[in-house]
């Protein structure tokens, strides 16, 4: 590799940085709050939840059909049907203990979910039988227990239904509701403060000023935090002053779970952030072997992380995904969903420096023949946001490769849905 004359003394590989995260971030979020089930999607389960009951609480039919004695149906076939006597119908919602027992030769009509009466040991689906007045002709045998959900088959009383650390999904909510719950204890939201640095920044909504640029990285990070169940706290734009930056971060870290400082994390003269952080914390990693996102890293103090991310949005996004999300997972003991991925054919070669993991922004679209095509977008610098609006994917080029040739089959992270038939 080329000698570095000015720049980061050493670039850390992303896996090594993530290993250090795991070793150094000791802070854990333990407090729980009880919330209504229907708003729990995306929150993290705060306790092992056990079933308070057997579910179903009685043997239940899994189909619409006739509750019967299985043995009565043996030998039934379309050419040689078995005839049974229909003695009633079970309404959903009736107390199972009030149902009369059925005897050999009898069947009772039952809907999916209805209780199986005493005496019956299988359900004949409607499709395999025909009703003729008070008689039912059966065309196919059922085995004992066939089409019956046994008491406790779904959950047994005392069994763990959801585990602490699970990211709650709508079907988890259904499982809890089916057991009578209407609320759930979830871990409180992680609080993450964002301090923007850079004398060139003005806030969106302000009048443009020659030479100043809008602080677009902060709102992106706020939105990223919100969509991962965290609470962003905006600390505004810090002055370019080592003392003030370290005071502000140190003060805030007592109140929050993590601080993100953006900008000023390179190694130029005005990059005060590493200096400011080194006064109040131990810098664990500074400079990642990734592109974009190199000037990123983290420090820790009392087991809590302070992240340094680029002020440039694309670089900050990669740094957020590779450092901040794993840190949130550690603090919450959870796993976020992986992003959707898609395979396709690269239509132009893409290069990456050796030893560096490159996140190439690409456009993923369906070509005329229906084939998924992947076009790398040309960029200059990590400030070019249009690669994430004209483009819709990230192609990760691992450290050990110097790129991919055109026509390679590659897998990309899909940031937004596929463009259809748009090769522009």
For the segment 260-319, give every residue that binds a copy of itself (CB under 8 A). 266-270, 311-314, 317
Closer residue to a copy of itself, CB minimum distance, 220 or 276: 220
Cα atoms found within 13 Å of the Cα of residue 115, Cβ hemisphere only: 19
Cβ density class 187-206: b for 16+ within 10 Å, e for less: bbbbbbbbbbbbeebbeeee
CB of 347 to a copy of itself, least distance (A): 21
Stretch that binds a copy of itself, among 88-96, 253-261, 362-370, 401-409 (CB under 8 A): 88-96
Among the listed residues 211, 284, 270, the one whose alpha carbon sits nearest the alpha carbon of residue 238: 270
196 binds a copy of itself, rule: CB under 8 A: no
Identified binder of a copy of itself from the candidate list 129, 230, 276, 395, rule CB under 8 A? 129
Greatest alpha-carbon pair distance for the chain in Å reads 94
Binds a copy of itself by CB under 8 A, chosen from 20, 32, 35, 37 = 37
CA–CA separation, 4 and 10 (whole Å)? 9
Site membership for a copy of itself, residue 421 (CB under 8 A): no
Q: How far is the CB of 419 from a copy of itself (least distance, A)?
A: 10
If phi over 0 gives left and psi between -120 and 50 gives alpha, with beta otherwise, what is residue 197? beta
Q: Are 215 and 196 in contact (CB under 8 A)?
A: yes
136 to 175: interface string for a copy of itself, x by CB under 8 A: ---x-------xxxx--xxx-----xx---xx-xxxxxxx
Q: Which is nearer to a copy of itself, 165 or 403 (CB)?
A: 165
- Return the residues of window 345-374 that contact a copy of itself according to CB under 8 A: none
Phi, psi of 189 (to 5 degrees): -65, 135
Nearest-approach distance from CB 302 to a copy of itself, in angstroms: 29
Nearest CB to a copy of itself, comparing residues 181 and 250:
181
DSSP code of 171? H
Interface residue with a copy of itself among 185, 191, 212, 345 (CB under 8 A) is: 212
Q: Are 413 and 396 in contact (CB under 8 A)?
A: yes
Give me the least distance between CB of 318 and a copy of itself, in Å please. 11
Q: Which of residues 391-410 bind a copy of itself (CB under 8 A)?
A: none
Stretch that binds a copy of itself, among 9-17, 20-28, 195-203, 244-252 (CB under 8 A): 195-203
User: Contacts with a copy of itself in 236-255 (CB under 8 A)?
Assistant: none
Q: Rule CB under 8 A: which of 13-32 touch a copy of itself?
A: none
Give every CB contact of residue 127 below 8 A, 6+ residues apart in sequence. none
Locate 389 and state its tokens: 């609006």
CB-based contact 45:305 (threshold 8 Å):
no
Interaction of residue 101 with a copy of itself, rule CB under 8 A: no
- Look at strands 290-291 and 135-138 and give their pairing: unpaired
Closer to a copy of itself by CB, 142 or 300: give it. Answer: 142
C-alpha distance from residue 285 to each of 11, 309, 328 (Å): 9, 12, 17
| Binding segment toward a copy of itself, per CB under 8 A, in 12-20, 249-257, 333-341, 396-404 | 333-341
121 near a copy of itself, judged by CB under 8 A: no
Find how far residue 23's CA is from the centre of its chain: 23
Site for a copy of itself (CB under 8 A): which residue of 26, 30, 92, 351? 92
**Distance (Å) of CA 36 to CA 108, 162, 169, 184:** 40, 16, 13, 6
Number of residues engaging a copy of itself in binding (CB under 8 A): 127
* Residue with Cβ nearer a copy of itself (206 or 243): 206
User: Does the footprint of a copy of itself cover residue 422 (CB under 8 A)?
Assistant: no
């Amino acid at each position: 590799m080329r000698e570095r004359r000015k720049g980061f003394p050493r670039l850390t590989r992303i896996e090594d940085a993530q290993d250090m995260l795991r070793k150094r971030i000791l802070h854990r979020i333990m407090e729980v709050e009880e919330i209504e089930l229907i708003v729990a999607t995306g929150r993290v389960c705060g306790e092992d939840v056990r079933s308070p009951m057997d579910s179903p609480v009685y043997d239940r039919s899994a189909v619409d059909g006739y509750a019967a004695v299985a043995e009565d149906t043996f030998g039934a076939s379309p050419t040689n049907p078995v005839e049974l006597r229909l003695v009633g119908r079970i309404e959903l919602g009736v107390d199972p203990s009030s149902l009369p027992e059925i005897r050999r030769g009898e069947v009772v009509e039952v809907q999916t979910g209805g209780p199986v009466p005493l005496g019956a040991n299988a359900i004949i689906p409607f499709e395999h039988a025909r009703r003729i007045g008070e008689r039912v002709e059966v065309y196919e045998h059922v085995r004992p227990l066939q089409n019956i959900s046994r008491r406790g088959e779904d959950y047994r009383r005392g069994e763990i239904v959801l585990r602490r650390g699970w990211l709650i999904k709508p079907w988890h909510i259904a499982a809890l509701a089916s057991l009578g719950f209407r609320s759930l204890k979830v871990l409180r939201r992680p609080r993450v403060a964002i301090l923007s640095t850079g004398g060139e920044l003005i806030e969106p909504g302000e009048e443009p000023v020659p030479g100043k640029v809008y602080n677009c990285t902060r709102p992106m990070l706020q939105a990223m935090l919100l969509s991962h169940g965290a609470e962003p706290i905006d600390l505004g734009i810090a002055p370019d002053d080592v003392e003030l930056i370290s005071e502000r971060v140190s003060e805030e870290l007592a109140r929050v779970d993590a601080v993100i400082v953006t900008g000023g994390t390179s190694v130029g003269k005005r990059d005060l952030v590493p200096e400011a952080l080194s006064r109040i914390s131990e810098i664990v990693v500074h400079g990642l072997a990734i592109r974009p996102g190199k000037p990123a890293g983290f420090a820790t103090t009392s087991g809590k992380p302070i992240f340094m991310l680029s002020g440039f949005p694309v670089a900050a996004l990669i740094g957020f995904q590779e450092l901040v999300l794993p840190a949130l997972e550690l603090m919450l003991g959870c796993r976020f969903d992986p992003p959707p991925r898609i395979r396709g054919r690269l239509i132009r070669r893409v290069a990456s420096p050796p030893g560096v993991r490159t996140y190439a922004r690409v456009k993923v679209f369906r070509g005329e023949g229906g084939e998924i095509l992947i076009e790398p977008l040309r960029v200059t610098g990590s400030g070019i946001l249009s690669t994430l609006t004209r483009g819709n994917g990230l192609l990760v080029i691992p450290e050990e490769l110097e790129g991919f040739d055109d026509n390679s089959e590659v897998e990309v992270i899909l940031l937004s849905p596929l463009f259809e038939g748009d090769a522009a």
